[in-house]
Amino acid sequence: MALVLSGGEDGRTVPPVRFEEAEERLAATRHYWEEWSACCTYAGGYREAVLRSVLLLKLLTYSPTGAIIAAPTLGLPEAVPGNRNYDYRYAWLRDASFTVTSFVMLGYVREAAEYLRFLRLADPSHGKNLRLMYAIDGGPPAEEAYLEHLSGWRGVGPVRIGNGAADQSQYDIYGEQLLALETFLEAVDYDPPQKTNDRLPEGLTNLAASAMAARDKEDHGIWEPRTPKRQMFHTKALIWVALNRAARMARRIGRIEEGQIREWERVAEEVRAEYHERGWNPARGAFTQSYGSDLLDAAVLRTVLFGAIEPHDPRLVSTYEAITRELVVDDLVYRYRAPDGMEGEEATFAACAFWRVGCLALAGKTEPARLIFERLLERGNDLGLFAEEIDAATGEQRGNFPQGFTHMAIINHALRLEREQRRRAA
């Protein structure tokens, strides 16, 4: 007996498949995913949420090239009503780099290596001309355009394809990439495959040089607002991360001149001193989104996770308290509350809520962090999946779904909580 499946709008018919063959395919598929899931090395708390999240990250990977997309959807709105509807079917360097970090921490080194292979093919300059995002074949994203014949989810348009943010300046990407590379190198004990290793000094040098060239520049930053560029706090902190990690890796691989390494370290400390001074707003009692700004930004919390600010710094504690007062609603966290060139009031940003958990854990407040983390996990859908944002009033998921950036944050903070709880219990 054969199972015949009808075709789509073009009228084609899928070739007949016998039920026996279909059962075999289903069995093989199930076996593959069970075997893959069994390779997860994490056995701590919240393992189900961690495993669900890493399965999603694997499914966001385009196998032929190794590209990792931000989400498999487009046009799902972040504000209702509003026009915050984007196309996320691309490989953002920021998102993909930290997906690699998540893979490595859970024992999936092969998946991390595949992404580095993709980047090597997409960026033949070896870090000199790194792009913000790529299409799954390694090319540039499509130009942003509207599909006027579509009304959008629940009538909330426009439906955009392509992504105009591809042409923005976002200089934090150098720190993002070097963080992921260091995590990968540590996982393979600084003995990577030849195709990664043979140009490693060149890649480190190019990325560090790009970070140094950007140290005084304005950019659009992590949130990609459609507003003028500024001296963004998060970007400056990630430039410090880029130079700090480049120097650390260079000392391990031993093929870069000592004078060059010392120069990276010198500039890194200058950048760190600058954002600690110029990023602080005494009137607000907080580090703000950009130099001279009054605007609070949850991205500041993210910089703590990389050591760009010490978790016990009194000014960080004051910043955390200000963000909690003004941006937090029932454990959910808004990125910021200010005009950004788009229409409508967006929902809370899910990853920011998990960054807040990380800050608490690093500050030694593991029990409050645990409770918040568990309440946040309950906000996923029936499959434990999350979009990019969550509506604070209704709890409804907002934006493209499911979102890799959110699930990367779940993985990282489950592991961080586990690590901090063990360390303080020792």
The pLDDT tens digits for 298-319 are 999 999 999 999 999 999 999 9
Comparing CA positions, the residue from 376, 381, 336, 338 lying closest to residue 360 is 376
d(CA 213, CA 128): 11
Q: Is 160 helix (H, G, I), strand (E, B) or coil?
A: strand
d(CA 56, CA 52): 6
174: Cβ contacts below 8 Å, ≥ 6 apart: 130, 207, 208, 210, 211, 214, 238, 239, 242
pLDDT for residue 4: 45
Question: Which pTM does this prediction carry?
Answer: 0.90
pLDDT for residue 13: 58
Comparing CA positions, the residue from 232, 133, 233 lying closest to residue 173 is 133
CA distances from 98 to 105, 177, 205 (A): 11, 8, 21
Both tokens assigned to 397: 């998921």
pLDDT for residue 248: 95
Torsion angles phi and psi, residue 329, rounded to 5: -135, 110
pLDDT for residue 15: 65
d(CA 385, CA 371): 19
Both tokens assigned to 198: 């043979």
Segment 207-216 mean pLDDT? 96
d(CA 229, CA 383): 39
d(CA 399, CA 347): 9
Strand partners, 389: 349, 398
Quick check: bond before 81 cis, omega within 30? yes
Q: Which of 123-127, 160-164, 323-327 has the highest mean pLDDT?
A: 323-327
